[in-house]
């Protein structure tokens, strides 16, 4: 009896293992090219959140450089005799400056120190451009100041002296070098003559910015963005375009022209979360719309600016009285029209001239505009309609992006989609920050979307694990969901992960695509998912099926396929969210006679433990790894490991 039972058990185990070993036969049909993948399909969404602009991408190292924070000396320590003044200021929209005067004793000193954004990061052997607007107070009496870089232990790293020669405001510049890495430096300036001397717009930039530009961007961060091959660049928000109130909304017109005269704005992430207050979070607009258009151009991405629709953040403002009355929207609508002129107008137009004077006579060739961010209700649609009438009348070629509100489903969403169709917006911006399981369940989200209505812009999304980490599980579920974006590329034209950037010591929101401190940055697993999708975006969808149905979670597998007719590649993307190793056979069917497959197939694997993440100290824990497989005729047999994202790149000639 015992023997019989044992045999039965062995037989059951054998059959069990046979079935888990059975091949899964996927078919990619190459006969007919599917929907084109839009060049805008995989893009970036940039917002000044988590110190993403000032203190992040914008390479300025001095916080409160123009003394315009409500507490004029926030970020500064002063010693001796320092006064904040406004009389005779050089920049009308930034009226504060400091006067350094004789301390009253030859052995006492007058000066000030800036703490930077959670410290100033200096890199070994790099140089830094210090600049200041200054004047002497007494005619014909030059003054001297010393400028020092100070390390975290209060030792000078490097100093230079500067002579202020005239009583008229003038910009002065010196270059300082750093012989070593220092993550937490500060800048000290003090009088070396009797004074007084007046100082305004005190600035320190690395000379090695992205493309070496003055008023430039942090090179390592832009390089990481550029590597993502974005086809689209949405900016400047997000909630910051709405503002906590209309006063603090992002106003693009304040963000262009000479940088010294761009006024300060309070950043709404300053106090959005009561458990994470950031009283020193302001926007200098130093990286303004000109710089953002330029960045889009550098990366080869379509710029997608978003403007305020006359509504302050609806989460934080209850009632019509908080918003612009519908009958008084003209200035806001004009701002949108002027923005298009700023981007595209020739240099004889008012705003085209501003762009040209900033250094870009050629138009930026903007094609899209977002009207409003996460808005909802009739208060949104009534205003959007007015914007649309004006934009369609003057710029019919510009594509307008509306919104389905802050939720991925529910009352507001149900109200807004039909409204967006009625208004005939070109694209609808959908947002979803949801748990990993939601992303798996929604891999089929777009399979039944209306093909005749506006197209979809998945404008903000991220898989939010309960610990809100950028762990591998969040990345893998996003990759699985994105097979659904790709399969539905006829209706989904744009997708951007959010948020993009976060300072490890100054974040308000997580997870985020890229984390950084003052010297380093780390690409998350989510970053690599975005990069793989964008790099292997393809030109057209190809149907990928298992038993004649799309692969949308059967046996824990999600998949999609594209062809790139330019690079001559067929690309299969597969995720496995199960704990099983799956033996997969991908068969390429319907091939034209002259199409010859290259036998060597590049396979790219992104794999980690579900809770693993990349950190600044261990940035390469989860990175894509390439290897090769050999095709057998038109079939590719591969093992798809548990919890993995896999790409197969099959080259061909025709
Ligand atoms: O990405 C962070 C925020 O999420 C955006 O500002 C807003 O649009 C959304 O609520």
Q: What tens digit of pLDDT does each residue of 530-565 get? A: 999 999 999 999 999 999 999 999 999 999 999 999
pLDDT range class, residue 365, cuts 50, 70, 90: very high
pLDDT 10s digits, 27-48: 999 998 999 999 999 999 999 9
Q: How far apart are CA 34 and CA 57, in angstroms?
A: 38
pLDDT tens per residue, range 374-393: 999 999 999 999 999 999 99
- What DSSP element (H or E) covers 2? helix 2-21
Residues 392-433 pLDDT 10s: 999 999 999 999 999 999 999 999 999 999 999 999 999 999
Q: Do domains 21-37+540-653 and 76-208 have the same CATH topology?
A: no
**pTM across the whole model:** 0.96
Q: Is the pLDDT of residue 7 over 60?
A: no
The label of the residue with tokens 């991925």 reads 408
Nearest residue (by CA) to ligand 1, atom 2, is: 499
Helix (H) or strand (E) holding 27: strand 24-29
Give percent of the chain with pLDDT exceeding 70.
97
Q: DSSP label at 276?
A: B
Q: Which atom of ligand 1 has the smallest separation from the CA of 509?
A: 2
Nearest atom in ligand 1 to the alpha carbon of residue 499 is 1
- Active centre residues (catalytic): 374
Q: What is the pLDDT of residues 59-89, one digit of tens each?
A: 999 999 999 999 999 999 999 999 999 999 9
Query: 420 CA distance to ligand 1 centroid (A)?
Result: 20
Residue 8 has pLDDT above 70, yes or no: no
Mean per-residue pLDDT over the chain, rounded: 96
Report whether 364 contacts 343 (CB < 8 A): yes
Mean pLDDT for the stretch of residues 515-536: 98
Per-residue confidence band for 503, with pLDDT thresholds at 50, 70 and 90: very high
Q: Nearest residue CA, atom 8 of ligand 1? A: 238
The CATH number given to 21-37+540-653 is 2.60.40.1180
Q: Give the Å distance between the CA of 470 and the centre of ligand 1.
A: 17
Domain 76-208, architecture per CATH: Sandwich (2.60)
Is residue 236 reached through a cis peptide bond, with omega within 30 degrees of 0 on the bond before it?
A: yes
Contact 30, 542 (CB under 8 A): yes
Q: Of ligand 1's atoms, which has the minimum distance to the CA of residue 45?
A: 1
List pocket residues of ligand 1, CB cut-off 6 Å. Answer: 47, 49, 237-239, 373-374, 406, 431, 460, 498-499, 509
User: pLDDT (tens digit, 9 = 90+) per residue, 248-268?
Assistant: 999 999 999 999 999 999 999
Contact 195, 137 (CB under 8 A): yes
Domain 42-59+212-535 part of CATH 3.20.20.80: yes
Q: How confident is the model at residue 11 (pLDDT cuts 50, 70, 90)?
A: very low
Locate the ligand 1 atom nearest the alpha carbon of residue 373 and give its number: 8
pLDDT band, residue 274 (cuts 50/70/90): confident
Ranges of each domain in the chain: 21-37+540-653, 42-59+212-535, 76-208
CA of 427 from ligand 1 middle (Å) equals: 18
CA of 239 to the centre of ligand 1 (A): 5
Distance 374 CA to ligand 1 centre (A): 8
Which residues make beta-bridge pairs with 171?
133
Cis geometry, peptide bond prior to residue 296 (ω within 30 degrees of 0): no
For 192-213, what is each residue's pLDDT tens digit? 999 999 999 999 999 999 999 9
Instruction: Give residue 21's pLDDT band: very low, low, confident or very high (50, 70, 90).
Output: low
Pocket test for ligand 1, best of 276, 412, 432, 433 (most atoms within 8 A of CB): 433
């Amino acid at each position: 009896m015992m023997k019989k039972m044992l045999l039965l058990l062995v037989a059951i185990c054998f059959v069990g293992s046979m079935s888990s070993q059975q091949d899964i036969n996927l078919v990619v049909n190459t006969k007919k090219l599917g929907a084109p993948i839009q060049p805008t399909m995989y893009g970036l969404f940039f917002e000044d959140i988590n110190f993403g602009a000032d203190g992040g991408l914008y390479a300025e190292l001095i916080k409160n450089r123009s003394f315009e924070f409500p507490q004029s000396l926030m970020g500064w320590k002063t010693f001796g005799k320092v006064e904040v003044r406004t009389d005779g200021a050089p920049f009308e929209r930034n009226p504060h400056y400091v006067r350094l005067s004789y301390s009253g004793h030859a052995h006492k000193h007058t000066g000030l120190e800036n703490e930077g954004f959670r410290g100033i990061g200096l890199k070994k052997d790099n140089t830094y451009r210090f600049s200041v607007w200054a004047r002497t107070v007494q005619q014909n009496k030059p003054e001297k100041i010393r400028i020092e870089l100070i390390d975290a232990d209060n030792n000078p790293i490097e100093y230079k002296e500067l002579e202020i020669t005239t009583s008229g405001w003038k910009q002065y510049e010196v270059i300082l070098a750093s012989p070593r890495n220092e993550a937490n430096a500060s800048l000290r300036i003090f009088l070396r003559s009797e004074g007084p001397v007046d100082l305004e717009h005190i600035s320190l930039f690395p000379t090695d910015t992205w493309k070496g530009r003055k008023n430039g961007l942090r090179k390592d961060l832009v390089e990481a963005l550029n590597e993502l091959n974005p086809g689209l660049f949405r900016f400047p928000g997000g909630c910051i375009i709405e503002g906590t109130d209309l006063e603090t909304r992002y106003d693009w017109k304040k963000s262009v022209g000479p940088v010294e005269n761009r006024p300060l704005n309070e950043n709404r992430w300053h106090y959005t979360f009561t458990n994470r207050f950031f009283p020193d979070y302001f926007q200098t607009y130093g990286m303004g719309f000109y710089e953002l258009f330029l960045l889009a151009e550098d990366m080869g991405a379509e710029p997608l600016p978003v403007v305020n629709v006359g509504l302050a953040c609806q989460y934080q403002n209850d009632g019509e009285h908080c918003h612009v009355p519908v009958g008084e929207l003209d200035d806001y609508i004009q701002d949108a029209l002027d923005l298009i002129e700023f981007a595209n107008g020739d240099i004889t137009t008012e705003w085209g001239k501003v762009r040209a004077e900033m250094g870009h006579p050629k138009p930026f060739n903007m094609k899209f505009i977002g009207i409003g961010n996460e808005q909802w209700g009739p208060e949104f649609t009534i205003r959007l309609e007015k914007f649309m009438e004006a934009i369609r009348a003057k710029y019919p070629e510009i594509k307008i992006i509306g919104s389905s509100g802050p939720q991925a489903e529910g009352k507001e969403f149900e109200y807004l989609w039909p409204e967006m169709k009625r208004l005939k917006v070109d694209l609808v911006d959908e947002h979803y920050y949801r748990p990993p399981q939601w992303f798996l369940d929604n891999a089929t989200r777009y399979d039944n979307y209306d093909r005749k209505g506006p197209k979809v812009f998945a404008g903000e999304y991220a898989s939010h694990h309960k610990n809100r980490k950028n762990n591998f599980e969040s990345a893998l579920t996003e990759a699985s969901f994105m097979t659904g974006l790709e399969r539905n590329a006829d209706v989904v034209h744009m997708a951007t992960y959010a948020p993009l950037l976060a300072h490890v010591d100054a974040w308000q929101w997580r997870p985020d695509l890229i984390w950084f401190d003052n010297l380093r940055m780390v690409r998350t697993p989510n970053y690599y998912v975005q990069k793989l999708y964008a790099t292997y975006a393809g030109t057209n969808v190809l149907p990928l099926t298992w038993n004649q149905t799309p692969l949308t979670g059967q046996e824990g597998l999600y998949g999609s396929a594209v062809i790139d007719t330019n690079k001559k590649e067929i690309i299969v993307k597969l995720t496995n969210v199960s704990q099983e190793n799956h033996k997969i056979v991908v068969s390429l069917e319907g091939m034209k006679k002259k199409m010859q497959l290259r036998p060597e197939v590049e396979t790219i694997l992104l794999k980690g433990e579900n809770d693993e993440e990349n950190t600044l100290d261990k940035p390469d824990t989860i990175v894509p790894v390439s290897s090769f497989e050999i095709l057998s005729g038109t079939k590719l047999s591969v093992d798809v490991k548990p919890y993995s994202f896999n790409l197969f790149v099959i080259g061909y000639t025709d």
